[in-house]
């Protein structure tokens, strides 16, 4: 660690007192003693993994969870971890602003290269064991944000009121309304879906003239903005404007597109189900915000996807049908039961969505 340079930077750039600057340097030295060279970790990932380990919430404290880091703290773990994290964030900023100055050489000395013949196939690298994946997911679920059931319920209720008229209009445009408006659907924008394939992307980006292209099964195509409007109205009282909550991105829980759809893996079928589930694209019950500094849990792991779908089912059961009535979410394995995980409180309780309901009615009516 560049202790003396860091100390001077704290005093000059951050206007800290000598004593305070000394404490921050000492905090970083303590972290380095137990977690490894801060300069080396900065070279690896700008200290992001270390800062994640130095995250300890009030909920962690209430549940008496052990910290993720390896640093012994004599006293309050929450306050002690927060102090260390704050010091490391300062050192991260220092290294970022001092990037023009070379960091100490922390790389492992190079060994002479040996010529290795290609085998003609990909190597088989070890994957995380199921128990490791389970532990990783348990660390992440407290940071996932679902919409409050009251919000989902209000959209569903408004859908039921408008459903007969909207279904007729979709039929008149040659669109199967069951793709969007099944009974007690929480679809926020019936008739709008995400574009798929190169031709639809080209049309959306206006590289294909409207008279030369016909959209199938939709009134309008979208680039992933419309599902975010409800969230924007809740927190900002206005339409979504291409930026969301810092450090978070929106994820869909169940597949809404046909390509590589995982319906058979995740749903049980009892009766006749719609051929396509485009309504899941803007369904208020089918989205959640997740931290962007973590791999999206909905992308690759089937157990995690089922966990989140079962969580949504538990939140919104009786309020809406998160899937058409002929479909149901498969239960998770016992160790993946939602009760075994910690969850953040749903967001948006008490928020007025009258402005959103008016905006979406006018949008659909205009289409």
pLDDT higher for 315 or 120?
315
Each residue's pLDDT tens digit, 137-154:
999 999 999 999 999 999
Q: What is the pLDDT of residue 220?
A: 94
Give 10's pLDDT tier (boundaries 50, 70, 90). very high
**Is the pLDDT at 128 greater than 90, yes or no?**
no
Query: Residue 127: which pLDDT band, with cuts at 50, 70 and 90?
Result: confident
Under the banding of pLDDT at 50, 70 and 90, the label for residue 103 is very low
Give this prediction's pTM. Answer: 0.67
Q: What is the pLDDT of residue 159?
A: 96
pLDDT of 101 strictly over 90: no
Residue extents of the structural domains in the chain: 1-99, 143-366
In this prediction, residue 99 carries a pLDDT of 53
Strands of the chain, DSSP E: 192-194, 220-222, 248-252, 267-269, 287-291, 327-329
Tell me which residue has tokens 């900065």.
Answer: 42
* Other CB atoms within 10 A of residue 361 CB: 13
Q: For residue 111, name the pLDDT band (cuts at 50, 70, 90).
A: low
Higher pLDDT residue, 123 or 354? Answer: 354
**How many other C-beta atoms can be found within 10 angstroms of the C-beta atom of residue 340?**
13
Burial 316-328 (b: 16+ CB within 10 A, else e): beebbbbbbebbb
Nearest Cα to Cα of residue 252 among 295, 217, 283:
283
Across residues 213-232, what is the average pLDDT? 93
pLDDT score of 104 = 46
pLDDT digits (tens, 9 = 90+) for 283-338: 999 999 998 876 666 666 788 889 999 999 999 999 999 999 999 998 888 999 99
């Amino acid at each position: 660690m560049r202790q003396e340079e860091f100390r001077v930077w704290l005093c000059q750039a951050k206007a800290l007192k000598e004593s305070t600057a000394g404490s921050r340097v000492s905090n970083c030295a303590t972290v380095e003693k137990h977690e490894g060279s801060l300069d080396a970790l900065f070279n690896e990932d700008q200290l992001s993994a270390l800062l994640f380990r130095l995250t300890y919430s009030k909920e962690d404290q209430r549940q008496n969870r052990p910290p993720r880091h390896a640093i012994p703290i004599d006293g309050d773990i929450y306050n002690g971890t927060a102090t260390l994290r704050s010091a490391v964030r300062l050192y991260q900023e220092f290294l970022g602003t001092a990037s023009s100055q070379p960091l100490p050489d922390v790389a492992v000395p190079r060994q002479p290269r040996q010529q290795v013949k290609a085998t003609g196939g990909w190597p088989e690298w070890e994957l995380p064991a199921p128990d490791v994946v389970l532990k990783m997911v348990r660390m992440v679920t407290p940071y996932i944000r679902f919409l409050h059931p009251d919000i989902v319920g209000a959209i569903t209720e408004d859908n039921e009121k408008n459903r007969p008229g909207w279904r007729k209009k979709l039929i008149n445009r040659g669109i199967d309304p069951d793709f969007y408006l099944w009974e007690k659907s929480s679809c926020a924008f019936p008739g709008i879906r995400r574009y798929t394939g190169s031709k639809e992307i080209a049309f959306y980006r206006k590289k294909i003239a409207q008279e030369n292209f016909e959209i199938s099964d939709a009134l309008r195509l979208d680039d992933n903005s419309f599902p975010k409007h409800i969230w924007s109205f809740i927190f900002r009282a206005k339409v979504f404007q291409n930026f969301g909550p810092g450090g978070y991105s929106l994820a869909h829980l169940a597949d809404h597109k046909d390509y590589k759809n995982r319906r058979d893996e995740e749903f049980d079928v009892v009766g006749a189900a719609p051929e396509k589930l485009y309504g899941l694209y803007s369904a208020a019950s089918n989205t959640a915000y997740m931290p962007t500094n973590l791999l999206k849990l909905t992308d690759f792991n089937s157990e995690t996807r089922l966990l989140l779908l079962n969580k949504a089912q538990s939140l919104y059961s009786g309020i809406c049908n998160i899937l058409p009535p002929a479909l149901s979410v498969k239960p998770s394995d016992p160790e993946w039961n939602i009760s075994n995980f910690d969850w953040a409180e749903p967001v948006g309780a008490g928020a007025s969505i009258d402005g959103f309901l008016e905006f979406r009615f006018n949008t659909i009516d205009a289409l």
